[in-house]
Every structure is written in structure tokens, then in C-alpha cells.
């Protein structure tokens, strides 16, 4: 009876000890699992930290560069107005062996080069040029007896240095008058002739020699005929 109690107590004690050992083993396993999990989490955190440190920061949006406004270049200063060019002309049959053209208005123009008909800076006709003017007078009487005539004097743009004339304008007027006097003294009615000095305002070209001239303009254009008809009515 005593042995039975003792055996029972021993068995109970062993059961308790076994139970305690089992609990300890279970707790040990749980703790170990927690430690392993914690270690794994720490490893993951450490890996994420390194990845974050290695990852460059996101690029900031680039602000568009301010467009430079093109510098406004001031317009160049206005150049002096170029002299008015003489009207376009087309050649026709020569009068008196001299260059003859028809201008845009339809008028016949006989060109007398000043270098041939006048000394430099002078308004007196050369004796050697009068033979050509005699042929011009004969042609005007034969072909244009009833036509009005305008004698125009032209010069180049070079200022006068040695001359009794104060300006190119005065010289051009004096040369036109000299040609008119010759025409009227050789049978062209003075009432048919007018004169006009234009100075250097109507150059023919960049060749200064061609700009120095006297032009005998025979008013044969349609506008001139209309004006004549109106005045006759």
C-alpha cells in the first residue's frame, strides 16, 4: 500500500517533469523561431537600407531655359534720296548723227553730249560742234516743223570748282539757253522752244560723262498731241 502510493507519486512527478520539459522545449522552439524571424527582418531592413542609399534621388524637372529675345537691330539711318533716274528710253533713227531715243512719254529726244558741245564749266557752244547742230536743225524743220521743242540742260553731280557759274543748276540752265539761241537763229521759231535746267537731278547712268548733256526733246508723245488739240479748240 505504501509502495503503491510511492509509485503513484513518482509517476506523477515524472509526468510533471516531462510536461515541464516539453513546455520548455516548445518555448525554446518558439523563442528560436522568433529570434530567427527577427534576424531575418533585420537582414531585410539592412538590405533595404543599402538599396535606398544606393538609389539616386529622383531627377528634378528641368526648368526650360528662358528664351533670349533676339536683339532688335535699329534700322539703318535713312540714306539720302538718290537722284531721280531719267525715264527709260529706246533708240530710234539718229537725228544729225547724234544719239536719238524715244522716252516713255513718246517724245523724241536728241542727246548732245556736253563734253563735245561745250568746254568744261562753260556754256558757249564749241565751233566744232555747230556742224552737228546744223544737221539737227535741218531734220527738225523737215520732220517736226509743227512740233514744240523743250531744250533740257543736265550736269553731273560733281560740284563746280572753277567756273563763273555758282552751281550745276545754273550751268545747266545756261547751256540749255545757248542751244535754244542757236536753234532759233537757224530758223526754228523761238515760240516753239522752251528751256529747262535740271542740274544733276536726272542722271542717265553711273558714267558721269553721260550725265553731262543737253537734250533736245521734240514733243511727239500722245499726251502732247492731246494737249495741243485741246488748246486749238
Average pLDDT over residues 37-47: 75
Whether the full predicted model's pTM is greater than 0.75, yes or no, is no
Strand partners, 111: 215
- Domain 89-232 fold: 60s Ribosomal Protein L30; Chain: A; (3.30.1330)
Pairing of the two strands 100-103 and 149-154: unpaired
Q: What is the mean pLDDT of the chain?
A: 79
| 174-204 residue pLDDT tens | 999 999 999 999 999 999 999 999 999 999 9
Identify the burial level of 30 via C-beta atoms within 10 angstroms of its C-beta, where 0-12 means exposed, 13-18 middle and 19 or more buried. exposed
The residue count of the chain comes to 233
The confidence score (pLDDT) of residue 71 equals 61
Q: Which residues does 2 contact at the CB level (< 8 Å), separation at least 6?
A: none
Angle (CA) 27 31 37, round 5°? 145
* Three-class DSSP category at 163: coil
3, 8, 10, 30 from 18: Cα distances, Å: 22, 15, 12, 18
Site of grid cell 516548445: 26
Cα–Cα distance measured from residue 211 to residue 219, given in angstroms and rounded to the nearest whole number: 21
DSSP string, 138-154: HHHHHH-TT--EEEEEE
pLDDT in tens, 118-177: 998 999 999 988 999 999 999 999 999 999 999 999 999 999 887 789 999 999 999 999
Amino acid at each position: 500500500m505504501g509502495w503503491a502510493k510511492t509509485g503513484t507519486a513518482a509517476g506523477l512527478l515524472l509526468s510533471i517533469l516531462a510536461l515541464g520539459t516539453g513546455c520548455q522545449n516548445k518555448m525554446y522552439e518558439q523563442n528560436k523561431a522568433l529570434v530567427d524571424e527577427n534576424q531575418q527582418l533585420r537582414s531585410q531592413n539592412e538590405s533595404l537600407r543599402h538599396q535606398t542609399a544606393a538609389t539616386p534621388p529622383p531627377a528634378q524637372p528641368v526648368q526650360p531655359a528662358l528664351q533670349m529675345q533676339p536683339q532688335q537691330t535699329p534700322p539703318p539711318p535713312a540714306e539720302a534720296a538718290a537722284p531721280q533716274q531719267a525715264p527709260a528710253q529706246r533708240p530710234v533713227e539718229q537725228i544729225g548723227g547724234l544719239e536719238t531715243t524715244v522716252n516713255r512719254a513718246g517724245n523724241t529726244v536728241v542727246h548732245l553730249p556736253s563734253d563735245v558741245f561745250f568746254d568744261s564749266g562753260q556754256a558757249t557752244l564749241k565751233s566744232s560742234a555747230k556742224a552737228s547742230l546744223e544737221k539737227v536743225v535741218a531734220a527738225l524743220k523737215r520732220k517736226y516743223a509743227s512740233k514744240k521743242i523743250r531744250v533740257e540742260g543736265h550736269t553731273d553731280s560733281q560740284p563746280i570748282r572753277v567756273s563763273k557759274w555758282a552751281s550745276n543748276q545754273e550751268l545747266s540752265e545756261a547751256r540749255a539757253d545757248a542751244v535754244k539761241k542757236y536753234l532759233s537763229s537757224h530758223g526754228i521759231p523761238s515760240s516753239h522752244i522752251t528751256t529747262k535746267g535740271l542740274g544733276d537731278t536726272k542722271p542717265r547712268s553711273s558714267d558721269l560723262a553721260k550725265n553731262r548733256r543737253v537734250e533736245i526733246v521734240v514733243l511727239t508723245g500722245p499726251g502732247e498731241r492731246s494737249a495741243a488739240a485741246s488748246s486749238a479748240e
